[in-house]
Amino acid sequence: MDYRFSDTINSFESSAVREILKLTQGKSIISLAGGLPNEQYFPLDAVREAFLRVFEQGRQVLQYGLTEGYTPLREDLCAHLARKGMKAEIDNMLLTTGSQQAIDLLARIYINPGDVILVERPTYLAAIQVFQSHQARLISVDCDEDGMNLDDLERKIRQYKPKMAYVIPTFSNPAGKMWSLERRRGMLSICKRNGVLILEDDPYGELRFGDGEPMPSIYSLDDGPQGSAVVYTSTFSKIVAPALRTGWVVGDSTVIRNMTRAKQAADLHSSTMDQQALHQLFAHFDLYAHIAVIREAYEARMRGMLELLKQQSWEGLSWIEPKGGMFIWVELAESIDTQELLKLAVQEGVAFVPGASFYADEPKRNSMRLNFTHTDSDMVVLAFERLDRALSKMRQTV
C-alpha cells in the first residue's frame, strides 16, 4: 500500500518529553524530565467514592452527553472561577479533553496557515507543536523574570501583525515565571489596542507557594467575558489527576460556540463519566484543602532541589526560583549543549528535558527544565550525582 499522507503530517514533530520517556523505558533511569504530578497526592479514595456516587444514579450516566460538557460541572467551575475574581457563565465555557485540546480547538477556529502567533521565549513545547500543525508562524517575544518585555511586544506586533498571542503568565512551563501585575495589564492593553487575541494557559495557577495573595489572571483584568480579548484555559490534571483528562476553556460566547463546533467534529464530547465524577468531588470533597496539601508538599520538594543546585559547581550555573508550579529552569555555560548532555546523562541514569525544545525560534541550547514534583527527595539527590558525572564527562570532551 502506498500511504499518501497529507502535507500536515510534516508539521508534527515528536515531543521531546515523549522521546525522552522512550529512552528511559526498561532502564533504571531517574527522570526529572516529565511534567508529572506526584501520585502520592492523587485523592484516590475520594475519586473512587465519586465514581461510585455517579454509578448509583443508574444506567443513564453511561449515555452520550452535551458537547459543551456536563452542566453541573460547568456550574461548579463558574463558582470556582468566581473565587479567583473571574466572571464566567456556562454559555461562556466549554469542557475539553485536558487544556491541551482547548489550545488545539482555538487554533482550529482562529488560525489560518501563515497567521502569526506571538509566544514567550521560552514557551510550552506542546503548544508549539499544536500551532505548527496548523501552519502558524511563531514569533517569540523577549521575556525576563517579570514576563514579556512590553516594548518588544509592541515592536513585534507592529512588525508581524499577529492574530494571537499565547502565554502562560502564572508559573510558566518551562521557566516557572510569575508575571508581574504591570506586565499583565500592559499586555492586555497593548493586545486590545491592536486587536490581538490572547490565549492565557493556566494549568499551574493553583500551585502557588508561600502565603502571598494570588496574582489575578489576565482574563480577570479584562471586561468580559463578552467581547473579551482573552480566552482562558485550565485543567484538573495538576489539582486532581491527569488521567481524568478534563480541562475547561472560557471566553466570549461566540468564540466558545465556534470551539464547540470544532469539538463536535473532533470527538463529540469529552468523557461525561469523568465530568460527573468531578462534579461529585466538588459536592463531597474539600478540593481546596487538598490543593493546600499539594502546594505545601511541592514547595518542600522545590526547596530541596534548590539546595542541591546551590551545592553544585557547574560552570555558568544559574536558575530561576519558581514561586509555584512544577519546574525549575536551569542554564549552564554557553559552551554546553544540553541535548548532547542528555545523551551522557541517560548513560549515567538520569534524564531531563533540554531547553531547546521550548523555543519557537533561536533556541538557547545551554538550558534545561527540571521537574521537582514527581521524584522523591532521596532519588533527586542521586539524580544530581549522576548529572554531575555526566557534566564531568562532557567537560572532558569539550
SS3 of the chain: the string is CCCCCCHHHHHCCCCHHHHHHHHHCCCCCEECCCCCCCHHHCCHHHHHHHHHHHHCCCHHHHCCCCCCCCHHHHHHHHHHHHCCCCCCCHHHEEEECHHHHHHHHHHHHHCCCCCEEEEECCCCHHHHHHHHHCCCEEEEECEECCEECHHHHHHHHHHHCCCEEEECCECCCCCCCECCHHHHHHHHHHHHHHCCEEEEECCCCCCECCCCCCCCCHHHHCCCCCCCCEEEEEECCCCCCHHHCCEEEECCHHHHHHHHHHHHHHHCCCCHHHHHHHHHHHHHCCHHHHHHHHHHHHHHHHHHHHHHHHCCCCCCCEEECCCECCEEEEECCCCCCHHHHHHHHHHHCEECEEHHHHCCCCCCCCEEEEECCCCCHHHHHHHHHHHHHHHHHHHHHC
Confidence (pLDDT) at 232: 98
Q: Is the pLDDT of residue 23 over 70?
A: no
Q: Is the pLDDT of residue 167 over 60?
A: yes
Confidence (pLDDT) at 16: 61
Confidence (pLDDT) at 372: 97
| Average per-residue pLDDT for the chain | 94
Could you give the C-alpha distances from 142 to 119, 148, 251, in angstroms and in order?
Answer: 9, 6, 27
Confidence (pLDDT) at 316: 96
- Rounded Cα distance between 354 and 225, Å, is 38
- Rounded Cα distance between 204 and 239, Å, is 9
Confidence (pLDDT) at 34: 86
Residues 6+ positions from 148 with CB-CB distance below 8 Å: 120, 141, 142, 167, 179, 183, 187
Confidence (pLDDT) at 2: 87
Tell me the domains of the chain and their CATH numbers.
Answer: 7-42+289-397 (3.90.1150.10), 44-284 (3.40.640.10)
Average pLDDT over residues 266-292: 98
Q: Is the pLDDT of residue 69 over 90?
A: yes
User: Residue 132's CB: how many other CB atoms inside 10 A?
Assistant: 19
Confidence category of residue 104, pLDDT binned at 50, 70, 90: very high
- Which residues is 94 bridged to in the sheet? 249
**Worst-scoring range by mean pLDDT, 2-11, 109-118, 336-345, 385-394?**
2-11
Note the pLDDT tens digit of each residue in 325-365. 999 999 999 999 999 999 999 999 999 999 999 999 999 99
Q: Are 368 and 314 in contact (CB under 8 A)?
A: no
Q: Which three cell numbers stand for residue 62?
A: 453511561
Residue in this structure with the C-alpha cell 464566567, named with its chain if needed: 88
Q: Is the pLDDT of residue 203 over 70?
A: yes
Q: Look at 1 and 294; give whichever has higher pLDDT.
A: 294
Confidence category of residue 120, pLDDT binned at 50, 70, 90: very high
User: Residue 37's CB: how many other CB atoms inside 10 A?
Assistant: 21
Confidence (pLDDT) at 348: 95
Percent with pLDDT over 90 in the chain: 89
Confidence (pLDDT) at 58: 97
Q: Is the pLDDT of residue 309 over 70?
A: yes
Confidence (pLDDT) at 19: 63
Could you give the C-alpha distances from 371 to 166, 207, 319, 380, in angstroms and in order?
Answer: 22, 14, 13, 10
Confidence (pLDDT) at 237: 97
For 341-375, b/e burial (b = at least 16 CB within 10 A) is bbebbbebbbbbbbbbbbbbeebbbbbbbbbbbbb
Confidence category of residue 40, pLDDT binned at 50, 70, 90: very high
Type of residue at 128: I
Confidence (pLDDT) at 27: 63
Confidence (pLDDT) at 213: 82
Cα angle vertex 248, ends 246, 252, to 5°? Answer: 160
Q: Which three cell numbers stand for residue 162?
A: 499577529
Q: Is the pLDDT of residue 395 over 80?
A: yes
Type of residue at 185: R
